[in-house]
Structure 1
Amino acid sequence: MYHQYYGLKEAPFSIAVNPRYLFMSPRHRDALAHLLYGVGAGGGFILLTGEVGTGKTTINRCLLEQLPDDTDIAIILNPALDSLELLASVCDELGIDYAGEASSLKTLTDKLHAFLLANHARGRKTVLLIDEAQHLNFDVLEQIRLLTNLETNHEKLLQIVLIGQPELASLLQRPELRQLNQRITARYNLEPLNLEETRAYIRHRLQVAGLTADRELFPPAAVRDIHRLTRGIPRLINVLCDRALLGAYGQNKGRVERSMVATAAREVMGEEGVQRPPSRLGWALAVVVLLGLAGTAWWWLGQPRGWQRQLPAQVAVEAPAVVTTPPAQQPEPEPEPESEPEAGQQAWNMTSAAAGQLLWRLQAPAAVAPPEPCPAQPMHGLGCYREQVQTWDALLAYDRPLVLELITPERFRAAAVLLGLSGQQARLATADGGVVEVSLRELAGLWQGDFYLLWQVPDGYRAPLALGDRGPAVAAVARLFAALDNQPRALAESQFNRALQSRVELFQRAHQLEADGVVGVRTLLKLNEQLGIDPSRAQSEELL
């Protein structure tokens, strides 16, 4: 209907789960990272909770897509089962044949144990995923806990993922379920979207459906109302936006107005679901009450202190502090402009050696700068990364000091230490430890796009790391990702496994890098930036 009217290829706000419309907010990426860590930990339970419609199914699908190929998975979508039916369903999902034998908990458990041992011997993992787990009764949860007793001397044979609404977490807090609760190795509660994420979510779905970048169907005021009414729950956002667009189409409007959002909310959520903002009369009454309270406080403060002490204790109140407004002051005269510095005072245009030494001083104050400013091999734990870009915008991706390699009008080599960009100005370090601003126009005549920077190299890192690689560098990178995710255990030890590859791809997509799962310098630079390992431009200015 309306999608053709607005130039869309299809309806953008269907509540069906469509991979093309996948929107991973930062909290969705965090949730997926926790699940990947849990699966990679090798045993126990993983818990994902969230309100209805927050995107748990989206996370589930992403998890299934990123599980390694050597993983067998059993998915239970209907948890309204007793213990025997649950075990039978698990066996059916994994293709375990138990026909012709009397079905009992012992028979099914023995069959499952034999399958898990055989799978482990083949180097395969087994994962059980139970959706809507808040509906599981106590006996079934206890039976699920007993399944984690199936183990070798080194690891659990079955990884169990429980997914449900927030009451699942409350259920697991019960004393009789404390043994299960203690076996949860990773847990995450998926919160609704905030206002900015809601705005990005709506824009994302419209663009996937074909809306051009120059059109706006939901103005900021309408988005704020949508976020307030839906509380940031994606499923409710879809329903409300769909109905609001239908209303705008019915009125031949080019975009959704706030009144249309309110009408749509009453239609799809009912009067109870619509939180009306205070009316003008309500605001007026509130102002009158506040003025009355302020007048009472003013009168109270004007009474003699002895009279205040004579009041009964139950009516004595603490006098509020009075904020006095200072008298208007005459504006201070504008400072006289400083005289232009003499030539050489702002020595931002340096020799290559001087710029390199200054960069090393900013990055490693205690280290002695090497003779070559950008050495081929790491020194003092720092590596040099050299690149060429075409635009100033490309430099914004590097939030750290770097050296611009320049060529003077006389065709001599020179260099400048760039600390940051602000509008049409560049902040440059000077040879005497100061900071000056130079126009990009002036720099553009000297800079051909070449630059280099220093960065903290992980232990043992010498070349890009990919699936199957081994060594201390793999362990160091895995520890960095564990620190980023606040996880006590890394996804890999000495071998680059599927779990680490999936985490790397997730990180790369989140930061607009090529999601190839390979840990190269660009990925490590962004990882160091997120961990605060390398000094940022702002920190470098403080050092100066």
Structure 2
Amino acid sequence: MYLSYYSLDERPFTISPDPRFLFMSNRYREALAHLNYGIEDGGGFVLLTGEVGTGKTTVCRCLLQQLPEKTRLAFVLNPKLNSVELLATICDELKIKYPENCTSLKTLTDKISEYLLKCYKEGLSVVLMIDEAQNVEDDVLEQIRLLTNLETNQKKLLQIILVGQPELQEKLARRELRQLAQRITARYHLRPLDLKETIAYVMHRVKVAGSNKRLFSKKSIELLHEKALGIPRLINTICDRALVSACNLSKNEVNEKIMKSAINDVLGLSGENEYPLLDKSKQFLTWGVIGLLTISIISFVYWLGQQSKGPIVASGSITNETLFKIKKEQVENNFSESTLDIQTTSSRGSSNIDANNQSEQTIDTTKSISSTSINNSQQPSLISKMLGSQRWDTNGYDSLSYIMTLWNLEYSPFQDGDACEFASIYGLLCENQKGNWQSLRELNRPAILKFSAGLQGEFWGAITAIRGQNANLVFGEKSVVISLNELSTIWTGEYKILWQAPNGYHRTLKLGDQSIAVIWLGTQMKQLVSNDIEVSSSFDQKLHDALVKYQKRHYLQGDGIAGMRTILNINSEVLEGIPRLLE
């Protein structure tokens, strides 16, 4: 096994539907939000579909972990049953007693109805989940529909979740099942992962299994996504095989070659060319083209050689004096360019330059100008104190990379591309702001700050904590503590933070909005403000009033609009382990 070799606590790529390994991509968040909404809405049916291996069962098991304590669940894994067998299975799952060897639909239906009424009186909810529902016979689906006829004025007494492959949608579209289809209150189709999600998915599972190392090269994951088509089950199987091979080869990382071999093994590909004759013809054609090009180049060079045998300079066109002038101008230009280079280097603080007397005079003049500029702004000692020997982070990538480690993300600008796009895979948003120390305190998240060193340029650094009137900053591998007063002399006021927004969030949430993000907000207000709030996808007056109450309690603007400030404050209360600026 490769566990000890890669410092893993367990295998990261098993195909069992373990909710701990569920990668919360935007698609999975939306799927869970739709399922939760369908259950809480009190409707009859909720539908979840997806291709084989896209993670439907894993999402369902995650949902089961989130169900309230006052929920009774019947989970049917084998739908290849007739009506009597299905009702008997439901009774067994809910621990409903019925006569032994009972074959009466009426008896079983009555027993289930009595149980549902009893649960309703006790304030309990009952959920029936059927996996692989595309295999359920039409008459059995009709029997299931009849179970939802038992209802009150407000809700159905039985919530049913149908989980299946795309064929289930086709089945429910048939005319004979239109009554059931009309009772579906929430639908979601789970699609395969895209490339960015595949990269994040692989990294997530490795991290959950106990390792923070990068075990797969980016090229290998790109190949994996191309061949596995973004289907998690195939990704798991291939990655597991690739880790075994990499371990046997004593490799610290799965490269593209190892991944290709694992893909061939899992998908049953030979890895050999099926058309060798075609390859040979291509080879002959390639070598033929190369030969023609070679002959052409040799002929051209020969022609140039013949031309060069004639007089180089036409009579009276270029004299020795002209050639001397040209040479002199070249020398003077080279000297001028090197002087310019020395001046530029000198203005950046380089003093150990050996040159002739003339260039030394240029250095002295430039240094005095640069020194005067810096002394006027009183910056050199502060910048030296901040950066030391660290290189300047002129684009902010290195500083953002450090901030991501605080969110337990491993980011490389060269391998992962744009930082904000990479962060969005994990549900984090980049926010560019301009403000002061108080605005940073209110947001209470680590950030990267933009500093100006006058003529020397601008650079970024990460601020990780504020304690009183001092700030902890990180520049590359250097950590320093600087007073806010000192930093104020060179901070431009610009900063960028990473923060976690709810799925479906677009700038603000306000009265009248309808989205999945509203479900999230309602859930939080129900927990933090009032248990009387009815969670739904509609932003109603009750939610508005509860939000205003929450905002005023926390000294936020009580406008009933959930913007970044409000959501950050909520996250600080309900989420554990998020990085904070204030301790």
Interval containing the TM-score (normalised by the shorter chain): 0.5 to 0.7
After superposition, give the CA deviation of every residue in 1:303-336 in whole Å (9 maximum; x if it has no partner).
xxxxxxxxxxxxxxxxxxxxxxxxxxxxxxxxxx
CA RMSD of aligned residues (A): 5.1
SS at match of 1:465: helix
Question: Is the aligned partner of 1:136 residue 2:136?
Answer: yes
CA contact (8 A) 1:229 1:265 kept: yes
Q: Tell me the SS of whatever aligns to 2:75.
A: strand
Normalising by structure 1, we get a TM-score of 0.57
- Select the residue among 227, 236, 239 that pairs with 2:225: 227
Alpha carbons 1:467, 1:496 under 8 Å: kept: no
Q: Give, in whole Å, the separation in 2 of the partners of 1:177 and 1:272.
A: 45
Match of 1:17 in 2: 17
Kept after mapping to 2: 8 A contact 1:229/1:274: no
1:487-502 equivalent positions in 2, closer than 5 A: none
Q: Is this contact kept in 1: 2:23–2:204, CA < 8 A?
A: yes
- For residue 271 of structure 1, give the secondary structure of its aligned residue in structure 2: coil
Note if 1:194 corresponds to 2:237. no
Aligned pairs (5 A) from 1:249-398? 249-271=247-269
Equivalences for residues 466-477 of structure 1 within 5 A: 466-467=526-527, 469-470=529-530, 474=533
Assess, with a 3 A threshold, how the Cα gap between structure 1 residues 469 and 527 changes in structure 2: closer, same or farther. Answer: closer
Q: 1:86 to 1:164 in 2, by over 3 A?
A: same
2:567 aligned residue (524, 532, 538): 524
The residue type paired with residue 465 of structure 1 is: M
When residues 34 and 442 of structure 1 are mapped into structure 2, their CA distance, relative to the original with a 3 A threshold, is same
Give, as a single letter, the amino acid of the residue that structure 1 aligns with 2:57.
Answer: T
Compared with structure 1, are the counterparts of its residues 493 and 102 closer, same or farther at alpha carbon in structure 2 (3 Å cutoff)? farther
Partners in 2 of 1:205 and 1:265 — Cα distance?
19
Within the candidate set 475, 482, 486, 1:445 is matched to: 486
Q: Is the 8 A contact 1:470 1:495 kept in 2?
A: no
Whole-angstrom distance in 2 between the partners of 1:274 and 1:186: 47
Distance in structure 2 (CA, Å) of the matches to 1:445 and 1:278: 71
Residue 55 (structure 1) aligned with residue 58 (structure 2): no
Higher relative contact order (CA 8 A, sep 6+): 1
Letter in 1 for 2:47: L
Return closer, same or farther for 1:250/1:263 CA change in 2, 3 Å cut-off: same
Deviation per residue, 1:255-312 (Å, 9 max, x gap): 2222222222222111299999999959979x99xxxxxxxxxxxxxxxxxxxxxxxx
Q: Contact conserved, 1:465 with 1:520, CA < 8 A, in 2?
A: no
Alignment partners' CA distance in 1, 2:544 and 2:124: 16
Q: What is the match of residue 156 of structure 2?
A: 156
Q: Distance in 2 between matches of 1:491 and 1:86?
A: 40
CA distance in 2, matches of 1:132, 1:120: 28
Instruction: Give, in angstroms, the shift of residue 6 of structure 1.
Output: 2.6
Aligned with 2:36: secondary structure? helix
Amino acid at match of 1:247: S
Contact 1:126/1:157 (<8 A) preserved: yes
User: Quick one: distance in 2 between partners of 1:275 and 1:81?
Assistant: 46
Q: Within 1, Cα distance between the matches of 2:545 and 2:126?
A: 20
Q: What is the deviation of 1:117?
A: 1.4
SS of structure 1 residue aligned to 2:207: helix
Is contact 1:4-1:10 (8 Å) kept?
no
Which amino acid is 1:268 matched to? Answer: V
Tell me the equivalent position of 2:366. none
Whole-Å separation in 1 of the counterparts to 2:508 and 2:201: 35
Partner of 1:236: 234
2:450 maps to 425
What amino acid sits opposite 1:246 in the alignment?
V
Query: In the aligned structure 1, how far is the partner of 2:117 from the partner of 2:55?
Result: 34
Q: CA deviation at 1:423?
A: 7.3
Contact 2:80 2:135 in 1 (8 A): yes
* Structure 1 SS opposite 2:436: strand
Change (3 A) 1:11 1:111: closer
Change (3 A) 1:45 1:457: closer
Measure how far apart 1:83 and its partner are.
0.6
The structure-2 alpha-carbon separation of the partners of 1:192 and 1:439, relative to structure 1 and needing over 3 Å to count, comes to closer
**TM-score normalised to structure 2 length:** 0.54
Q: In the alignment, which of 454, 465, 468 is matched to residue 525 of structure 2?
A: 465
Q: Which residue of the partner structure matches residue 114 of structure 1?
A: 114
1:283–1:176 CA distance, 2 compared to 1 (3 A): farther
- Do the aligned partners of 1:79 and 1:133 also contact (CA within 8 Å) in 2? yes
Change (3 A) 1:422 1:110: closer
Q: CA deviation at 1:43?
A: 2.0
Find the counterpart in structure 2 of residue 365 from structure 1. Answer: none
> Following the alignment from structure 2 to structure 1, what is the Cα–Cα distance between the partners of residues 273 and 122?
57
Distance 2:11 2:277 in 1: 34
Unaligned runs of 5+ in 1: 289-390, 407-413, 428-436, 483-488, 498-518, 529-544
- Separation of aligned partners in 2, 1:20 and 1:443: 42
Change (3 A) 1:266 1:399: closer
Q: Which runs of 5+ in 2 are unaligned?
A: 287-401, 407-427, 453-457, 462-481, 495-506, 512-520, 547-561, 572-583
Q: CA deviation at 1:136?
A: 0.3
What is the letter of the counterpart of residue 445 of structure 1? E
Aligned partners of 1:114, 1:223: CA distance in 2, in Å?
A: 54
1:496 & 1:104 partners in 2: Cα distance? Answer: 52
In proportion to residue count, which structure has more helix? 2
The 3-state SS of whatever aligns with 1:129 is strand
The number of aligned residues is 375
Does structure 1 conserve the Cα–Cα contact (< 8 Å) formed by 2:508 and 2:563?
Answer: no
Over 3 Å counting, the alpha-carbon distance change for 1:116 and 1:471 in structure 2 is closer
Shift of residue 141, structure 1, vs aligned partner: 0.9
Partner SS for 1:47: strand
Please tell me whether the aligned partners of residues 126 and 158 of structure 1 are also in contact (alpha carbons under 8 angstroms): yes
Amino acid at match of 1:56: K
Q: 1:141 to 1:218 in 2, by over 3 A?
A: same
Q: CA deviation at 1:147?
A: 1.3
Shift of 1:173: 1.1
Aligned equivalents of 2:275, 2:35: Cα separation in 1? 39
Inter-partner Cα distance in structure 2 for 1:157 and 1:275: 60
Give SS of 1:243's match. helix
How many Å separate the matches in 1 of 2:238 and 2:24? 20
State the distance in 2 between where 1:81 and 1:150 align: 23
Which structure has the bigger radius of gyration?
A: 2
CA contact (8 A) 2:510 2:539 kept: no
User: Does residue 1:28 correspond to 2:28, yes or no?
Assistant: yes
Is the 1:37–1:491 contact (alpha carbons within 8 Å) kept by the matching residues of 2?
A: no
CA separation of 1:526 and 1:82: change in aligned 2, threshold 3 A: farther
- Secondary structure in structure 1 of the residue aligned to 2:73: strand
Pairwise CA distance, 1:87: 1.0
| Equivalent residues of 1:265, 1:274 under 8 A apart | no
Question: For 1:257 and 1:70, how far apart are their aligned partners in 2?
Answer: 49
* Further displaced range: 94-103 or 249-258: 94-103
> Could you give the per-residue CA deviations for residues 327-372 of structure 1, whole angstroms, max 9, x where no partner exists?
xxxxxxxxxxxxxxxxxxxxxxxxxxxxxxxxxxxxxxxxxxxxxx
Amino acid at match of 2:219: A
CA gap 1:392/1:191 in 2 versus in 1, 3 angstroms: closer
Q: Distance in 2 between matches of 1:204 and 1:18?
A: 13
Counterparts of 2:35 and 2:149 in 1: how far apart (Å)? 21
1:95 aligns with 2:95: yes
Q: Is the contact made by 1:43 and 1:148 (CA closer than 8 Å) also made in structure 2?
A: no
Task: Find the aligned partners of 2:435 and 2:175 in 1 and give their Cα distance.
Answer: 60
Q: Give 1:526 shift.
A: 8.5
Alpha-carbon deviation of 1:405? Answer: 4.7
Letter in 1 for 2:130: I
